[in-house]
Structure 1
Amino acid sequence: MVLTMTAVFFIALALAFPLYIGFLMASFVAMVFYVGQWSQLLLMNQVLFGSLQKFSLMAVPFFVFTAEIMGRGGLARRLIDWGVALFGWMRACLAAALTVASMFMGAISGSGPATIAAVGRIMNPVLVREGYAEEFSIGLLCSTAALSVIIPPSIPMIVLGSLTNLSVGALFIGGFIPGVLLGVSYIIYNIWYAKKVGVEPPKTQSKGLWQSTREALWALGVPVIIIGGIYGGVFTPTEASVVAAVYVVLVSTLVYREIGFKKVWEVAAESGLITAQIFIVFAASNVLSWFLTVSGLPQQLTSYVAEKHLAPWALLMVLNIILLIAGMLVDAVSAMTVLMPLLFPILVAAGIDPLHAGLVIVINLAIGLFTPPFGFNLFVAQGALGVPVTRLYRGVMPFIAISVVILLAITYLPVLTVALPNYLLGIR
């Protein structure tokens, strides 16, 4: 069934159909030939529109709009100039800046799509202009945006806590070290890649660090206001997206004065089109996720594992394989909702630390977000940046390899996940 759906999807892409049509065709074929119940097709419309009725998705259009205004209103350019003045000595400073920006945006919004929209549309053209291959730039963007699942506040962690009775606070703290490890490993690869392809440090500007900081001060206020507001309890991440949008409009029009209010309306209309492209792909991919859930495939996989009575180390390896596959086929929340009631009791019964098992699950599903063929971040990036899917696949491969290595270290070294929450919260 999965092979048939994959074949239909790639045939649709080869025939130049839009991505969302490929998703819907794969789901339609699977329903007709494997389920055989035409009544199920009537539910596709409900799933298609129902998938967009999520409060967290409201952040996406505002972050898209914020990114567009920052790009045209002078904020992004001043931030880049400030980054060059601060880190210009480092060969891979722009790639490192994208990594850190994605990690911060993921922590701010808790949304991979919002991270891709906000960071990608600003940083991707800059990296390409400086000599990085576009495949590398977007591969880095898709992989770092997935860290929003690991770095708190994480919606999947909240869902996992509700399904398994694990402490959400412990999950949040436990995700800090894995998130930093992945981010640092990406930066190390960035430095190696920049040296390999001959990317030079940006040319030193005549203005110094102090002058660049002064000119970028209003732009630097964006992350300060958002992060401070969220962690200070002033507003939620979704509300933060609205605050950010209003702030950048006021700064661009009244402080930097590089655009007028008429241009703001034009940018708003263009941002609406970009948001529509992202949402239609998201809705169609959720139809596919829904079909996989009702088909019973996840239950079959977990039942098979339960019957084998594997040792803990082997069980963790099988867990990684299952969750990586599940993560590339469905979104993290859907995968958790289906798999956790079946998998989690098996892991606990085998003597695996529940907190460690929960964090391994989260990291697996985060990697699945940018793993071909159906990694959701890939299709969000394609819709937001207009890059062919085949180029996206090539770009993410090195980051998948790096992530899997870190995943194995985290899987078999529980201290990386449980030591910090145990110490800070006094769990044990």
Structure 2
Amino acid sequence: MMDTAELTRTTSGAAGAAPGIRAAVDPALDFLERNIGRVVDAVAATLLLVDIVLLGSAVTARYLLHIPITWIEELATLLFLWFGMLGVASALRRGVHMRLSFFVNMARPRTRLGVEVFASLILLVFLAKLMVPALELIDLNHPLRSPNLGIPGSVAPLATVTSVTLMIFFLLARLWRMLPPPVFLPCAVAAGAAAYVLEHVPPFMMDLGNLNLLIFFGVGVITLIMIGLPIAFSFGTATLLYFLFTTDLPLSVIVGRINEGMSHFILLTIPLFIFLGLQIQYTGMAKSMIDFVAALIGNARGGLSYVMLCAMYLVSGISGAKAADMAAIGPILSPAMKARGTREGDIAALLAVSAAAAETIPPSLVLIIIGSVTGISIAALFIGGLVPGVVCMLALAIVAWMRSRKEEVGRNTRSWRLIAKTFITAVPALALPLIIRAAVLEGIATATEVAVIGILYVAVVGAITMRGIDMRKMADMLVETIAISGAVMIIIALAGAMSWALTQSGFAQTLVEFMTNLPGGKAAFLAVSILAFIVFGSILEGIPAIVLFGPLLVPAAQAIGVHPVQYAMVVLLSMGLGLFAPPFGYGYYTACAVAKVSPDHAMWNMVPYLAALAVAIVVIAAFPWLSIGFL
């Protein structure tokens, strides 16, 4: 959403029409919202910390004491659902939900404000419509009990009701600040009236058949995304309207899909790796790795470009989040690259495309997600992603070498003493990705367990050898983790609900038949998939595209003889290319912001790097061994 300060400036003239009301309400509203937000963040962060302790205890009991604790996974999953749903509300308050703002930002301030208000009202109606079915689900599930601890089945949907209530409050507070008081009340009443009308509208579009898929999941989703509604809620709103206007199914199905989508134990890996990424940044582990690689190859012509590629390969395997990867590397290398004479546009371009090329390097967030939604072994994905990552980085290194011929060479000769010193400092950090990958690849621990092992390792080793983490920073890291996790998890949940609706409509079978019957067999299937996921990655962002289309297309790939691990690599890299490709790719603007480079300067510099990545993707699609040779 638009920044609150900007909205205040935009509406200051209109708000002045009722200064008395503003003066009376604003301080109380600010106080209430701030303190509710603090309570939400504190509770969610505490639940996350408890989950980390529980999982750490389970790993310790299993491997050291040889005593498996069966009830921990059950409790950890329930706590995960709760802090995930609270994280969704926190993400809304903080404005971190993924959204496409390209078109909205092109409009004039007054038009932009109107679009923002309209999008907020749509979201308000969507949330209001979820409340009743969520309450019905609480009543329906209450008699059920969990197998080990006997927890009532109503506890899980209660998390959804709590989150929806909080989001409605935060959204109303935002609308109050966006609009003058005389306009706020009619808008709120209009949203309530719309929710009431939708409650009583019959499914009058049922006879349109599959045309409804185009109307709701094609035109509808694209329109909602273009007006700036967060992508997750664009999926959810389109699915809700599809249910209301075309089926007799109860809306509790959507709430059930949301709870189910946020209750898979394997997805607990996501917040754990996000927290681990924040840990390595704050303790200085990421910087120590970069310093070592820079000492080793930084003085060569184009050396800092190679350092960026190597650093992205190393750091990506730990944090799993692309924004975190770029934030760890960009601020350190960008000033030095500018001083060396590297084009500013090249810095942002290389940072963006190297992040896209690192999508398959374990334990990447998208590897975990595609494995969880498609059933592909995450261990196999971790093994299969290493070589494709190397192929992509080599392709980018060739372009970096060609574009660095006019760059100054480092003034100092290679210092073996500096290399040795930085290597010794970096050993604990360099050991972490090796420990993570070895534990998963050898089958010693699951992806969730290895994330906990990594967190404990950084907490102990980072405190001893590098900078420790004080309690205030720990709290900030936990809060940031739950907000990012909430933004990611609600996409998975609502895209899963939309994918389920598409499957029930018969669209999945139609898509499989179309893709498998393309002339040209596997080659044509892979070529169309590459182009499709470049578009999906650019428009829908990365994770929504995976959750929505992965479960539909992976079976189609298997049906014509494409190995699912190879297909996953092709899909993820294609999606990454779209995600970081201008003008729509969200990741491109993130890279420019991190590198402090104007997007206009970097736009054309992206072309050779994107072309190199495209060639690498074609090579990986053409030679399956690169992805499955070590399985």
**Structure 2 residue runs without a partner (length 5+):** 1-213, 339-343
Describe the shift of the 1:45–1:366 C-alpha distance in structure 2 as closer, same or farther (beyond 3 A): farther
| 2:241 corresponds to | 32
More displaced stretch, 31-40 vs 277-286: 31-40
CA distance, structure 2, for counterparts of residue 138 and residue 359 of structure 1: 25
Describe the shift of the 1:321–1:99 C-alpha distance in structure 2 as closer, same or farther (beyond 3 A): same
CA distance, structure 2, for counterparts of residue 121 and residue 407 of structure 1: 25
Describe the shift of the 1:335–1:148 C-alpha distance in structure 2 as closer, same or farther (beyond 3 A): farther
Q: How far did 1:240 drift?
A: 2.7
Question: Is the CA contact (8 Å cut-off) linking 1:98 and 1:123 kept in structure 2?
Answer: yes
More displaced stretch, 25-34 vs 214-223: 25-34
| 1:80 corresponds to | 290
Say whether 1:142 aligns with 2:355. yes
TM-score, normalized by length of structure 1? 0.70
The one-letter code matched in structure 2 to 1:124 is: G
1:307-337 per-residue CA deviation (whole Å, 9 max, x = no partner) reads 6655664454344444555666544465342
Say whether 1:339 aligns with 2:553. yes
Describe the shift of the 1:243–1:34 C-alpha distance in structure 2 as closer, same or farther (beyond 3 A): closer
1:89-126 per-residue CA deviation (whole Å, 9 max, x = no partner) reads 234444434433444555x56xxx72436533321221
1:30-86 per-residue CA deviation (whole Å, 9 max, x = no partner) reads 642697258565444444454333434434444444443433434333333222221
Structure possessing the higher relative contact order (Cα contacts under 8 Å, 6 or more residues apart): 1
CA distance, structure 1, for counterparts of residue 236 and residue 580 of structure 2: 15
| 2:481 corresponds to | 275
CA distance, structure 1, for counterparts of residue 444 and residue 521 of structure 2: 47
CA distance, structure 2, for counterparts of residue 200 and residue 277 of structure 1: 43
| 1:351 corresponds to | none
More displaced stretch, 154-163 vs 229-238: 154-163
Aligned ranges 1:383-402 → 2 under 5 Å? 399-402=609-612
Q: How far did 1:143 drift?
A: 0.4
CA distance, structure 1, for counterparts of residue 220 and residue 547 of structure 2: 25
| 1:288 corresponds to | 495
CA distance, structure 1, for counterparts of residue 387 and residue 307 of structure 2: 19
Count of residue pairs the alignment pairs up: 392
Aligned ranges 1:257-272 → 2 under 5 Å? 258-259=467-468, 263-272=469-478
**Structure 1 residue runs without a partner (length 5+):** 349-353
Aligned ranges 1:93-172 → 2 under 5 Å? 93-104=303-314, 114-116=320-322, 119-130=325-336, 131=338, 135-136=348-349, 138-148=351-361, 155=368
| 1:301 corresponds to | 511
The one-letter code matched in structure 1 to 2:498 is: F
Question: Is the CA contact (8 Å cut-off) linking 2:288 and 2:429 kept in structure 1?
Answer: yes
1:353-391 per-residue CA deviation (whole Å, 9 max, x = no partner) reads x44x8624541243214524999xx76898999879x95
The one-letter code matched in structure 1 to 2:225 is: F
Identity %: 18
1:189-238 per-residue CA deviation (whole Å, 9 max, x = no partner) reads 34445557x58659679752222223333333333433444445443333
| 2:227 corresponds to | 11
CA distance, structure 1, for counterparts of residue 554 and residue 613 of structure 2: 22
Question: Is the CA contact (8 Å cut-off) linking 1:85 and 1:209 kept in structure 2?
Answer: yes
Question: Is the CA contact (8 Å cut-off) linking 1:31 and 1:41 kept in structure 2?
Answer: yes
CA distance, structure 2, for counterparts of residue 323 and residue 401 of structure 1: 16
Q: How far did 1:265 drift?
A: 1.9
| 1:243 corresponds to | 453
CA distance, structure 2, for counterparts of residue 309 and residue 76 of structure 1: 48
CA distance, structure 2, for counterparts of residue 41 and residue 301 of structure 1: 26
Q: How far did 1:3 drift?
A: 4.1
The one-letter code matched in structure 2 to 1:23 is: A
The one-letter code matched in structure 1 to 2:551 is: T
| 1:186 corresponds to | 396
Alpha carbon RMSD of aligned pairs, Å? 4.7
CA distance, structure 2, for counterparts of residue 391 and residue 277 of structure 1: 27
TM-score, normalized by length of structure 2? 0.50
CA distance, structure 2, for counterparts of residue 28 and residue 157 of structure 1: 23
Greater Rg, structure 1 or structure 2? 2
Question: Is the CA contact (8 Å cut-off) linking 2:301 and 2:408 kept in structure 1?
Answer: yes
Question: Is the CA contact (8 Å cut-off) linking 1:159 and 1:333 kept in structure 2?
Answer: no
Q: How far did 1:410 drift?
A: 3.9
Describe the shift of the 1:79–1:144 C-alpha distance in structure 2 as closer, same or farther (beyond 3 A): same
CA distance, structure 2, for counterparts of residue 7 and residue 294 of structure 1: 19
